[in-house]
Amino acid sequence: MPAHLDLAGRAAALSAEGTPFVWATVVHAHRPTSAKAGDSAIVLADGQIDGFVGGECAEATVRAQSLEALSTGQTRLLRVAPGEEETGLPDEDGVITVHNPCLSGGTLEILLEPSVPLPVVAVVGSAPIATALLRADRLFGLQVRALTPEEELPDGTLAVVVASHGRDEEPVLTAALRAGVPYVGLVASRRRGAAVLASLDVEDAQRDTVHTPAGLDIGARTADEVALSILAEVVATRRAAGPAGAARTEAAATPPAPATAKDPVCGMTVAAVPTSVHVDTPAGTVWFCGTGCRTAYLDNPAAYAT
């Protein structure tokens, strides 16, 4: 199987699992470079790289910039050029130029496309409305997932909708409210919904945030229409929270920005993650762009002492 097809299959599997990753594609290569246009790789949140986008030094830059892109969720075009001045600063919208002193002389342009998990709408119950909600998985940029009362809420949960018609409602609602889930909805009549809320062991302010009957009033009659009204209310809640609220929810499923370190031999900035080349010393971990710089350091550590 061609390498890019194998990577595409893995990327699809990672997306289905909700695992964050970056798809890196070489879009331009100015010789001399070991990579060529069309080469690609997957970069995981731990810095592991599967595929090929250049030699060790280029790979180190791709790793560091990919982890940064993953933490922001923003696509960027990475331009890796030879030279001593390593800025890592954007020089135009969406373009990051890094001057890599280890390159053999060519320039690479690599598109970094982060894939982060979509916010989760957790649905508890097997009522027709719950089934209708599950059919809307990924239609509106949301993962709609079935959740049993015994399961913990997934990272990045934006909403919990309980549509179980009286089964296990209180513990699920209580757990969602205590976890600070932005939208908590209960499918019930106004009268029964009020009774369920009154029985919850939570603060009054938390109880007041529960949407019951769940969904906007659109005159819904069928299960599909009620599901649509609930999803509309979830979207409205998400937008009303503004960028800060959306960022808080989505950050739960998005890796944090990586720590970085400077290679003491060549001066390049690298990601301080276990998958980067490094040496553990009594004074701490020393990070490198590749094995060449590590060898130079080990041959004469004193020459690179700060």
Number of domains, the chain: 2
Same domain (yes/no): 105, 20: yes
Integer CA distances (angstroms), 242 to 125, 171, 247, 248, 249, in order: 30, 29, 9, 10, 11
pLDDT digits (tens, 9 = 90+) for 263-303: 999 888 899 999 999 999 998 999 999 999 999 999 998 88
Whether residue 258 is contained in a domain is answered as no
Same domain (yes/no): 243, 144: yes
Whether residue 106 is contained in a domain is answered as yes
Whether residue 89 is contained in a domain is answered as yes
Residue 135: domain span: 120-251
Averaged pLDDT, 220-235: 94
Exposure string for 88-122, b = 16+ CB within 10 A, e = fewer: beeeeeeebbbbbbbbeebbbbbbbebbbbbbbbb
Whether residue 235 is contained in a domain is answered as yes
What is the pTM (predicted TM-score) of this model? 0.68
Distance CA 14, CA 288 (A): 29
**Residue 191 DSSP one-character state:** H
Same domain (yes/no): 159, 65: no
pLDDT digits (tens, 9 = 90+) for 45-65: 999 999 999 888 889 999 999
CB neighbourhood size of 138 (10 A)? 10
Whether residue 290 is contained in a domain is answered as no
CB contact set of 116 (below 8 Å; sequence gap of 6+): 20, 70, 73, 250, 253, 254
Whether residue 45 is contained in a domain is answered as yes
Decide: helix, strand or coil at residue 262: strand
